[in-house]
Amino acid sequence: MSDKYDVIVIGAGPGGYVAAIKAAQLGLKTACIESWTDKEGKNRLGGTCLNVGCIPSKALLEISHKYEEANHGFADQGIMAKDVKMDIGKMMERKEGIVNQLTGGIGGLFKANGVTPIWGHGKLLANRNVEVTDQDGKTKTYEAENVIIATGSKPIQIPPAPFDGEHIVDSEGALEFTEVPKRLGVIGAGVIGLELGSVWARLGAEVTVIEALDTFLPAVDQQLAKDALKQFQKQGLNIVMGARMTGAEVKRKLVNVSYEDSKGKQEAKFDKLIVAVGRRPYTDNLLSEDAGVQMDERGFIFVDDNCKTEAPGVWAVGDVVRGPMLAHKASEEGVMVAERIAGHKPQVNYDCIPNVIYTFPEIAWVGKTEEEVKAEGEEYNVGTFPFAANGRAMAANSASGMVKIIADAKTDRIVGFHVVGPQASEIVAQGVIAMEFGSSAEDLALTCFAHPTLSESVHEAALGVAGGAIHIANRRKKK
């Protein structure tokens, strides 16, 4: 078989494997390079997302939520569940089973679509040549008409808290605990920190989340962020804002953490410490000096609006380029690039990329926050509806949170859609679809929603934009 391909993709995560499959579907001879191996040294597709990110973390979130509900949420509904225990080993078994099934599934999709997997570390050389180094250190070079870089990202390590793999861990290590830590520290109150902190708090850990910023979830609409913060605190998460970590030292199997907040120097002791302060592009040993691809000082690859680099025939998608580090954003870019290589002209609508935090309550949004709209000086209208007034949410014992819709005052076009509460990750899709089609708030208000459903809250929030909500009192409009 020839070692020359129409498309070579470096990385088999959500951006890479999707790009490879799409390119093959479009009739392009395609190969995908991946270096990931499991604990036994077996090759695995799926990248961070499927192996140690989105999928395993959601498995633990779902299991821990069910455990929490059985212990504290069933009695109010007349279900008497006594002496409920958690088998951490069984939980981890289930997580691994899900990961194995999904990563193996990608291999089946590669075979069905004619994608050639190449195992090893890929490095881009000049003129779209790609050098692959396998596990034994042997190298082989492949040629391509087009190369798509989709190598993803890795956790950021900070000097005050170097990872030791046992007591001080990154997000990957936090998915591998063999027992519930009595006291758990989390550095960073972002998406990853809150999700992992929630998992272990539900299972019985005393969790303290230390965040350097003064504002909780600054990227989230602040009305919803404040609502979520109250609910997290009720759940027992100790979230310390405006706290700058200064050091972490392991002594007698405990992590001694020092930090400074508004009250001065502070100290805390934890059995485990998770450092979740963000991720950086994974571009280690990725490019030769003459590859022609440029990166910024943080390691992000420069691309244009269509993910094309400065090097002819070289593209980059996902976490290694500008924009949010989201698996679905990477997949959309992967499809777009494959289509463009095949001669089509699709584009990604970056205004309609949803964001989700899979805590309980879930937080999800698409478009602009009220703070962003206000800062732009544009006139706008807002409609909100609480799940406390939604019959389905009350019946499900999940009546906290709200739906919030922001619309341009002149055109009524929806510019922001925000949800905090039950199934927010699913409900936000309604806002994404509406915004993708340029819908007005009135369009949603005139749409018939089934009763009783959580989605009726979307209907009511849309009605509320014009002051016409039915099931809550409406805000008085300024004259």
CATH code, domain carrying 249: 3.50.50.60
Same domain, 98 and 12: yes
According to DSSP, residue 97 is labeled H
Instruction: Collapse the DSSP code of 74 into the 3-class scheme (helix H, G, I; strand E, B; otherwise coil) and give the result.
Output: coil
The three-class DSSP label of residue 321 is coil
Query: Mean pLDDT across the chain, nearest whole number?
Result: 96
pLDDT at 76: 86
199: containing domain = 168-277
Same domain? 267 vs 309: no
* Paired sense of beta strands 121-124 and 183-187, if any: unpaired
User: Could you read off the pLDDT of 58-99 as tens digits, one per residue?
Assistant: 999 999 999 999 998 898 899 998 889 999 999 999 999 999
| Predicted TM-score of the model (pTM) | 0.96
What's the pLDDT score for residue 475? 75
Residue ending a domain, among 290, 314, 348, is 348
Q: Is residue 474 part of a domain?
A: no
Residue 373 lies in a domain: yes
C-alpha–C-alpha distance, residues 48 and 36, integer Å: 9
Q: Are residues 297 and 373 in the same domain?
A: no
- Please say if the pLDDT value at position 210 is more than 60: yes
Residues 273, 284: one domain?
Answer: no
Which of 222, 243, 277 delimits the end of a domain?
Answer: 277
pLDDT of residue 423: 98
479 within domain boundaries: no
Q: How far apart are CA 123 and CA 85, in angstroms?
A: 48
Domain-embedded: residue 89: yes
* Same domain (yes/no): 145, 272: no
Residues 27 and 67 in one domain: yes
**Residue 284, both tokens:** 């280690």
Give a yes or no: residue 216 inside a domain: yes
* CATH number where 434 lies: 3.30.390.30
Total domains, the chain? 3
Do 130 and 255 reside in the same domain of the chain? no
Instruction: Mark which of 348, 367, 393 sits at the end of a domain.
Output: 348
97 lies in a domain? Answer: yes
**Active-site residue, from 65, 328, 451, 471:** 451
Amino acid at residue number 151: T
Do residue 268 and residue 286 come from a single domain? no
CB 380 within 8 A of CB 407: yes
Judged against a pLDDT cut of 70, whether residue 191 lies above it is answered with yes
- Give Cβ neighbours of residue 319 (< 8 Å, ≥ 6 apart): 15, 151, 152, 153, 279, 281, 282, 325, 330
Asked if residue 162 is part of any domain, the answer here is: no
Is pLDDT above 70 for 476?
no
pLDDT band at 1 (very low <50, low <70, confident <90, very high): very low
CB atoms within 10 A of CB 344: 10
The percentage of the chain sitting over the pLDDT mark of 90, rounded to a whole number, equals 96
**319 lies in some domain:** yes
User: Is 451 labeled as catalytic in the residue annotation?
Assistant: yes
Residues 140 and 213 in one domain: no
Q: Kindly state whether residues 134 and 67 are assigned to the same domain.
A: yes
Query: CA 406 to CA 384: how far, in whole Å?
Result: 9
Q: Is the pLDDT of residue 417 over 90?
A: yes
Same domain membership, residue 447 and residue 405: yes
| DSSP state at residue 476 | P
Same domain, 176 and 304: no
pLDDT in tens, 304-355: 999 999 999 999 999 999 999 999 999 999 999 999 999 999 999 999 999 9
Distance CA 44, CA 53 (A): 14
